[in-house]
A and B are shown apart, each in its own frame.
Chain A
Amino acid sequence: METILRSAEMAEIMLVPVRHHSPACSCHIRKVIAQWRPDAVLVEGPDNANALLPIMVHEDTRAPFAIYYAYHDKAKKISDEQEYYKCYYPFLDYSPELTALREADKNMTYVSFIDLSYGDILAASAKKLAEEEAPRSYNDDYLLAHNSYLQMLCEKTGLRSFDEFWEKYFEINGMYEDSGSWFSHLSTYCALARENTPEEALQREGCLAREQHMAARIALQALRGSGAGIFPGEKKMQRILVVTGGFHTPGLQEYLSDARWEETVRHAKNIAHYVPGTDESVYLMPYSMESADALNGYASGMPFAGFYQKVWEGIDRQSQNPYGEAVLDFLVSAGKAVRKDDGALSTYDEICAWQMAQGLCSLRGKPQPGAYELQDAVLASYVKGECDLSSDMPVRALRRLMTGTGSGALCARADVPPIVLDFQNQCRVFGIRTDSTLEKEVVLSIFSSRKHRGMSMLFHRLNFLHTDFAKRLKGPNLQLRIDRSLIREIWKYKHSAQVSAALIDVSVHGATIEEAAVSLVQEQLLQDQKADSAALLLTQVFEMGISGQLEQVYERVHTLILQDMDFYSNADALRYLMMMEKLGTLYGSDLAFDALLHTSVRKLITLLPGIAQMSDDALDAGMDALKLLYQLTGKRGPQYADEREDFYAALVRMQEDVQIHAGLNGCIHGILYGGGREDAKAVNAVSQGYLTGTKDQLLKTAVFFRGLFFAARDLILMERGMLEGIDAFLGQVDEEEFMELLPQLRMAFAYFTPAETDKIAKRAAGLHRRTGQELMARAEVLPDWYAYGKELDRYARGYLYRAQDL
């Protein structure tokens, strides 16, 4: 491998290109370090994470873990919004960077990260960020995987994707190459990939700024003890190994070349940061294979973390056939998973799959079968019938296994971020146990014990932060508006490494759980555009007991009620508000909801005429809203007098719409009747209108009654003509139509109590001069009648047979 030696006084530099998660690369890095024995190993990684290095290589730290970077743009270096940014730099056991760090640690070699910090990278590529989403992964392998050169390469080699290309030529074949030629192939490939990436893309991703920074850091180390005035008195380093993503190697080479060396040294003497270091934070967090799998989200290296972990384990125990062993292992595990699910897979299927994997491997000219042969084998041998959603379970099961389920852990010395400390403190205060991973149950009297309310608030906040720590089994549910009469909450909680990981994940939003929750509420409020979702958030704020935030949410709900033109969303918001007004004292809120309720009612009344021609699906929601408005404007006395009048006026206007939905029309008449604005006769006249109308209108009578009885079921008992109307209606429809109408009729009569139904039935029977008992009674069938019938039947059959013979 080529090295750079600028002068005899300076250290020799070896630039090693890597792909971020690559077993073959890790394997070769190990060999290179053993052979070349560098004095310093410089690794691509933000230089403000150097303090984490001892933890990363600690023997108790288990991969996968990730460096978590957070940046709060207080200084407005990226945009005026002062937003929060976060990203992860995941490490797996077979990540070359981690291998380099571990090997260097073993040899007591100096190690350091040399890249710009996350905030600096963001600021360096700030121009473009206004238009695009900020990168969430530190890795940039996607630069290697998405360029025109590569597309052509895949087409030419007949391979399906970059990952398949990589596996064949660099991973599997790479096992049989010496390190020098492996890295030289990778360098060539990276140089070609880079040549085919436009300059703007490099600029946009902040590559150029990063490379300049990395080159400066390398130069600093190379000049150590060289008499150049940097680190005076320090001992000169002989050999420096630089491990960076392959995409950056050509860039670094350029910065370290004769042409730009002076510029790099100047930069090295005056390394500047784009953003203030205090606005950035860096932690280590346990990570999972699932998150590390490229296909599950951002392209953060190679896919199939679980599969390559297995391969790496094989390489580690110096197996001659690590890929073949891993493929066989996964074929068997996938078989087991399939059998567990539907049981229709034989050992012979597994044998066929193994033969398929081996056959494909030889046909494709690979020395060992890899991930793609494994997938092909399962597809061909495990899937029976046409491959579609109903039959591709084996493929999905394999995919899950290949992703892997493992998660990492940090050693005890790892720094704990403030939010995790806050969590631990609060758990200690409330006596919540976090020293075991067993699930525990607590019953909280939230309205009678301050401590219990505090615990409940903590659990709600943790849930809001998606930590998966606690689960509410029972208790009032303000979001679904159910179980509101319960006075206790039952929770189950369970501590795991994932809880800390999830907390670190939101630590960008604040140093305590409350701060993070507040910040997330604010963020969500800005996203919410509907009155109902903002009101729903208000209920969550209520439960979390974030009193400081109530005002703000209150204001936002107010704005959204005014903006939102959707009747149903406003009606839902009103329901939440009424509920919270009732529960305010219990939850310790002193917020006055009256103004908000008033606005909401006014808005709903304005929107009312627009729903007259609603669809059938919306009927229930519409009727509920009308009833709610009726109750609210009716109960609240004089302060709602104006609204009550406007409400009735709106209802009258809606009635004038001839296309009005029959169910809604029924409901409006019911309300007007209940409010004394219409008498029973008038209502009866409208129902007669439907009854005597054309066929289509006649069929709408059932839904009209449904609406009517929803709002004023006493009408049928008070107004005699109403029952006669229904009776006449039922007489007019034929059996088929009756069956069609039956569901609506059932719903219409479901609003009555059993006693009322009985009364109605009696009156209906009376219309036909019968009594209720007569309707229910069934005449007895005597045994003699059966015998007679049977005899008659036998005689008739005999007669017919005889007639036939004649």
Chain B
Amino acid sequence: MQETIKPPVEVRYQEELEALRKADEEQGNKKPDNWLMSPKAVRTFILGSDKPIRYKRKTCQIRKKYFGNDALVERCIVTLAGSRGLMLVGEPGTAKTMLSELLSAAISGNSKNTIQGTAGTTEDMIKYSWNYALLLAKGPSREALVPAPLYIGMEKGILTRFEEITRTPAEIQDSLISVLSDKVLNVPELGDDGFLFARPGFNVIGTANTRDKGVNEMSSALKRRFNFETVMPVNKVSLEKQIILNEVRMLAEESHVDMKADEDVAELLASTYHELREGVSSYGHRIDRPNAVMSTAEAVSVYYQTMLTGYYYGDGHLDVECLVQNLVGAISKEDRDDLEKVKGYFNTVVRAKSDKEGGLWRQYYEARKWLK
């Protein structure tokens, strides 16, 4: 049995990372100071490669981990090699956090140096705080200082991740400004020794959710210190299906759920999410869009729940009725009107597809009784 529910990226992909680092060394690829691998290898780690790498006498296949926009990943890597921070913005569930973890694991070998932004985040959670017993005993000294992720990042020359930055109050966000521009953190209590100059390799990856826009709007001074990348939802059903399958397979493997993922069901769910998000079906029907977040991550969760139900309570198969029940649970979180919209979707699009394509779509249409 594994020891953690979700191991960090650098543990989960340890072998791939090591193989890439070795290949990098063999090829003599250039890498920025303190980076564990070259930008090209980081790209390969995230976007995958057809060519397997020989490592420890076996072949190591680098899988594609991020789908949708390869150019965006390339821009992210180049941004992190430069002097500006990287800010990933987008709708919830568009894999911003995953991308930031992958980047940190590849570049610094550590995706855990993270600040989790909340309404209660304070400056000492970002920069540093004190061990008060030592502070009283020895006075202000490096020993008594408890470094927070920003401090650690600067000291070690690694990436600091700042999740949900717009959830934190504006004055706390602004404490990043001087660090990002001057790359120096001043600890006044330590006097002349209180200047921490960032080591090469340090940078910040922030993520912000566009649904939180306006809650704590970032100041333009802070915005100027970042390159922004807008992460869009996946715009192809085939790609969304692939993501659902990949994620579900990985989740199942981690939970030792020995059950095969059904590709047709994944496609059904991917179409549903895609069409409800876009507001138009593949047949051209206009659809009312629900207010709930229709992200791929939500689709993965609906699929995985259905899979678990089938595994523990059912006959080891994915049940379409159960899928619809989980879909209801996922969609009618915020607004009951959303359920009406999904009903409308079933009565128009799913019905049309059931008539034309039959099979799974018919079962799906028949399961509409659970939409309540």
A interface list, Cβ under 8 A from B: 158, 160, 344, 346, 349, 352, 355-356, 359-360, 362-364, 372, 376, 379-381, 383-388
Q: Which of A346, A352, A362, A384 contacts B82 (CB 8 A)?
A: A352
Give the distance to chain A from B63, nearest Cβ to Cβ, in Å.
15
B47 touching A384, Cβ below 8 Å: no
**Whole-angstrom distance from the CB of A381 to the nearest CB of chain B?**
6
Asked if B285 is at the interface of the complex by the 8 Å CB criterion, the answer is no
Is the pair A158, B47 in contact by a Cβ cutoff of 8 Å? yes
Cβ-defined contact, B74 with A376, below 8 A = yes
Residue from A346, A360, A362, A386 in contact with B228 in the complex, judged by beta carbons closer than 8 Å: A386
- Measured between beta carbons, the chain B residues less than 8 angstroms from A379 are 75
- Contact: A380 with B79, CB < 8 Å? yes
A349, A359, A383: most-surrounded residue (chain B CB, <10 A)? A359
How far, in angstroms, from A379 to B90 measured CA to CA in the complex?
15
Is the beta-carbon distance between A160 and B71 smaller than 8 angstroms? yes
Please, how many angstroms separate the alpha-carbon atoms of A352 and B84 in the complex? Answer: 8
Measured between beta carbons, the chain B residues less than 8 angstroms from A380 are: 75, 78-79, 227-229
For B79, the chain A residues whose CB sits under 8 A away are: 356, 380
Contact B70 A384 (CB under 8 A): no
Out of B78, B83, B230, name the residue touching A363 (CB < 8 Å).
B78
User: Counting CB contacts under 8 A, is B333 at the interface?
Assistant: no
Q: How far is the CA of A344 from the CA of B224 in the complex (A)?
A: 9
Chain B residues lying within 8 Å of A388, measured Cβ to Cβ, are 230
Q: Knowing that A356-B78, A384-B223 are A-B contacts, what are 16 other residue pairs whose CB atoms are under 8 Å apart, sorted by A's residue number? A: A352-B84, A352-B227, A355-B78, A356-B82, A359-B39, A360-B75, A363-B43, A376-B74, A380-B78, A380-B79, A381-B84, A381-B227, A385-B223, A385-B228, A386-B228, A387-B228
- Please report the C-alpha to C-alpha distance between residue A352 and residue B81 in the assembled complex, in whole angstroms: 11
Hey, what's the 0/1 contact readout for B218-262 against A, CB within 8 Å counting as 1? 101001100111100000000000000000000000000000000
A386-B78 contact in complex given A346-B224, A352-B227, C-beta closer than 8 Å: no
B6 at the interface (CB under 8 A from A): no
Does A385 contact B218, Cβ atoms closer than 8 Å?
yes
Question: A372 vs B229: C-alpha distance in the bound complex, in angstroms?
Answer: 16
Q: Does B180 contact A (CB under 8 A)?
A: no
Q: Does B89 contact A (CB under 8 A)?
A: yes
Contact bitstring B193-227, A, C-beta under 8 A = 1, else 0: 00000000000000000100100001010011001
A364 to B47, CA, bound (A): 13
Between B218, B223, B227, the greatest number of chain A beta carbons within 10 A of the residue's beta carbon is seen for: B227
Closest to B38 in A: A363
Q: Is B148 an interface residue (CB 8 A)?
A: no
Give Cα A395 to B38, complex, Å: 29
Tell me how far the C-beta of A161 lies from the nearest C-beta in chain B, rounded to whole angstroms: 11
Confirm or deny: B367 has a beta carbon within 8 angstroms of a beta carbon on chain A.
no
Choose among B75, B84, B229 the residue with the greatest number of A CB atoms under 10 Å from its CB. Answer: B75
A386 to B218, CA, bound (A): 11
Q: Does A352 lie within 8 Å of B43, measured CB to CB?
A: no
Provide the residues of chain A in CB contact with B71, threshold 8 Å.
160, 372, 376
B336 within 8 A of A: no
B82 touches A355 (CB 8 A): yes
What is the distance, in angstroms, from B74's C-beta to the closest C-beta of chain A? 5
Looking at B74, B89, B218, the one whose CB has the most chain A CB atoms below 10 A away is: B74
> In this assembly, does B142 line the interface, its C-beta being within 8 Å of a C-beta of chain A?
no
**Chain A min CB distance to B167 (Å):** 16
Q: List 16 A-B contacts (CB under 8 A).
A: A158-B70, A346-B224, A352-B82, A356-B75, A359-B39, A363-B74, A372-B71, A376-B71, A380-B229, A381-B84, A381-B227, A384-B223, A384-B224, A385-B228, A386-B89, A386-B213
User: How far does the alpha carbon of A268 sit from the alpha carbon of B90 in the complex, in Å?
Assistant: 63
> Which of A160, A363, A388 counts the most B-chain CB atoms under 10 A from its CB?
A363
Nearest CB in chain A: distance from B31 CB, A: 12
> In the complex, which of the residues B220, B227, B230 contacts A356, with contact meaning CB atoms closer than 8 Å?
B227
Closest residue of chain B to A375, judged by CB? B71
Q: Which residues of A contact B75 (CB under 8 A)?
A: 356, 360, 376, 379-380
| Bound form: Cα–Cα A362–B43 in Å | 12
Contact A359 B70 (CB under 8 A): no
Q: Which residue of B lies closest to A344 (CB)?
A: B220
Interface string of B331-363 (1 = CB under 8 A from A): 000000000000000000000000000000000
Closest chain A CB from B92 CB (angstroms):
13
Separation in Å of the B103 CB from the closest CB of chain A? 13
Smallest CB gap from A164: residue in B: B71
Nearest A residue to B42 via CB reads A363
Complex Cα distance, B40 from A363, in Å, reads: 6
Contacts of A387 in B (CB 8 A): 228, 230
- In the assembly, what is the distance between CA of A160 and CA of B72, in Å? 11
Bound form: Cα–Cα A448–B65 in Å: 79
Complex interface: chain A residues within 8 A of B83 (CB): 352
For B213, list chain A residues within 8 Å (CB): 386
Contact indicator A384/B43 (Cβ below 8 Å): no
**Bitwise interface map of B from 47 to 90 toward A, beta carbon under 8 Å scored 1, else 0:** 10000000000000000000000110011011101111000011
Which of chain A's residues have a CB closer than 8 A to the CB of B77? 359, 363
A residues in contact with B82, CB < 8 Å: 352, 355-356, 359
A360 CA / B90 CA spacing, docked (Å): 22
B74's contact among A349, A355, A364, A383, by CB below 8 Å, is which?
Answer: A364
With a cutoff of 8 Å between Cβ atoms, the chain A residues found around residue B40 in the complex are 363
Ranked 7 nearest A-B pairs via Cβ: A359-B78, A387-B230, A380-B227, A384-B223, A386-B89, A380-B75, A158-B70
Smallest CB-CB separation from B69: which chain A residue?
A160
Q: Would A386 and B74 be within 8 Å (CB), given that A380-B79, A381-B227 are in contact?
A: no
With CB as the reference atom, state the residue of chain B lying closest to A353: B227
Binary interface profile of B, 256-300, with partner A (CB < 8 Å = 1, else 0)? Answer: 000000000000000000000000000000000000000000000
Return the CB mask of B18-59 against A: 1 if under 8 Å, else 0: 000000000000000000000110010001000000000000
Residue of A nearest to B39 (CB): A363
A440 to B220, CA, bound (A): 47
Complex Cα distance A16/B71, Å? 34
Q: Give chain B nearest CB distance to A369 CB in angstroms.
A: 11
Most buried by A among B70, B79, B228: B228
* Whole-angstrom CA separation of A459 from B131 in the bound complex: 85
By a CB distance below 8 angstroms, the chain B residues around A383 are: 228
A642 to chain B: closest CB distance in Å? 47
Q: Is the CB of B39 within 8 A of A384?
A: no
Q: Is the pair B230, A386 in contact by a Cβ cutoff of 8 Å?
A: yes
A residues less than 8 Å from B74 (CB atoms): 360, 363-364, 376
Return B77 CB to nearest CB of chain A, in Å.
Answer: 6
Q: Inside 8 A of A356's CB, which chain B residues have their CB?
A: 75, 78-79, 82, 227
